[in-house]
Amino acid sequence: MKKILLGISVFLLNCGSDNNPVDAIYDVSVYRAYVESVKKSVPAIRELNFTVPVKAGFMERSDLAKEFVTFPRRYANMTVMMKQLGFLPDSVQSIEPYVAENQSGFHAAYYITGTDSLVVIDPQEYPVSQFKEIVAHELTHALQDQNFNISQDDLFPNRHYSSFCTDFYLARRCVAEGDAMTSEFRYVISENSLSASPLDLFSTWRDEFFKTFGTREIPVYLNLVSMFPYEVGSYFVSKIWSTKGWEGVNQLYYSNRPLSTAEIITGEKFEPHRFDYSSLIKNWYDSCQSVQIADDDNYGPVMLLALLKDYTDATHAEAALGWQGDRVLYLLADNAQWGKFVWSFQFKDVSSAKYCMQGIDAVLSARTLGNVAPQRLQVVADSLITYTTGAVATTLLRDGEALFWIENVSDPTNVASGIQNASLAKRSGASYLQIESDPEIVEMKKRMIKRKELGERLQFSQCCQSGGDI
């Protein structure tokens, strides 16, 4: 999947390439011939070979939108959760239109994992050179899939992915997208006999990300999580490529695998601190009858950047805010209006913990829930603040380098110390397992299976009709 590579497109326009938009009604065989020509170039550029022939199909964006059905109850619950966690303004009625737009409006093309098939959306919208560039990107994903099997879990998310996904998952996407962007750039360079460095271009993208992350459209977290693999991941990968070549990039899938987006941001090897929530999860599930939504993970430092967007700056952001690890367990149950959660953070030093505590304090002081403003009480300077927002009770607690944001949970101080003292560092992923019986989750899984079937159908039938039923 990819966002259109605007940087390179501008670059191409300046170089006078064949930017002649084609007619709206297009001849599929012409586009298939373009795909075949790109297929000949990409293996040499990426220094990997296809192990299975790759098929290509085309579809209209309106048909893509139909694939993303809505799950009203789930979106309603997500809206509550994201408001409580400080990512959605109280005034936003539902997160649904933002997610829908993000899903159906974002991509120029996508690769269907495990099916050796790629789909370009509305190919007639692109100049031929840009169409080929998009295909080069998606073909690189095919090479990754066939040579590294990196996306084996993507079609059927398993217990390791919460519904919120993980920092590790996002770091892995940074490698896959950064790899595809570097390959795409190399393809453009090669096609046009130019000399340019992917590192130079992606370095400006990275700088731009850290300059503008606070001003992205609402909800900011959705934009940051979507764009981060392209805007920051591309720099991370191209830097490795420029010093160690493609072999160095290949190692990012195995022996040199980044475990966190903190490593993508800072470039330094990183082992995230992991919090043990196993007893918490069990107690919470045992104490409720019906789970509306549960989540026990997030996108790590990128999510914290989104949360503190109005508070922090590029310098702190480029140091990943001193983040060393975090985990949030959120549970909305038994038709309650608001959920309860424990969000634990570990920082590299006390000053980072204090800095982020002030940031979260700013978020909480400005957060209204159901039009109710909070009452704030500073209990202990630099380490304990409480907030009462209607019926919602919040505690922000710092202990050394650790920070805890606890909401609607009794005895928060004890809960925090229990988590801090736990020795187990394993992620249980229990929340995903618990909500598997949710009818909307069952429906989502069916859709994923259908998507895989569609990919296989594409592969076998070579269905390439404009607006066809892929």
Residues that bind Zn ion (CB under 5 A): 1-2, 177, 180
Two tokens, residue 184: 């795409």
Supply the minimum distance, in Å, between the C-beta of residue 177 and Zn ion.
5
Matching residue, tokens 């490698």? 175
Query: Which residue, 118 or 363, has its beta carbon nearer to Zn ion?
Result: 118
Supply the minimum distance, in Å, between the C-beta of residue 245 and Zn ion.
21
Taking the least distance from each CB to Zn ion, the nearer of 141 and 316 is 141
* Chain position carrying tokens 């497109």: 9
In this structure, the dihedral spanned by the alpha carbons of residues 221, 222, 224 and 229, taken in order and rounded to 10 degrees, is 140
Q: Report whether 392 contacts 406 (CB < 8 A).
A: no
Residue 260 CB coordination number (10 Å): 26
Residue nearest to Zn ion (CB): 2
Q: Give me the least distance between CB of 183 and Zn ion, in Å please.
A: 10
Residue 316's CB is within 10 A of a number of other CB atoms, namely: 18
String of DSSP letters for 131-147: HHHHHHHHHHHHHHHHH
The least distance separating Zn ion from the CB of residue 116, rounded to whole angstroms, comes to 15
- Complex with Zn ion: residue 184 or 296, whichever CB lies closer: 184
The strand order across the sheet containing 384-389 reads 291-295, 323-333, 340-347, 402-407, 392-399, 384-389, 375-380
Q: Are 180 and 235 in contact (CB under 8 A)?
A: no
Q: Which of these, 137, 180, 176, lies nearest to 153 by C-alpha position? A: 176
When the beta carbons of 2 and 172 are compared against Zn ion, the nearer one is: 2
**Shortest Cβ 229–Zn ion spacing (Å):** 8
Output 230 or 345, the one with its CB closest to Zn ion.
230
In angstroms, give the least distance from the CB of 109 to Zn ion. Answer: 8
Residue (180 or 356) nearer to Zn ion, CB: 180
CB atoms within 10 A of CB 160: 15
Q: Could you tell me the smallest distance in angstroms from the CB atom of residue 144 to Zn ion?
A: 9
| Shorter beta-carbon distance to Zn ion: residue 5 or 409 | 5
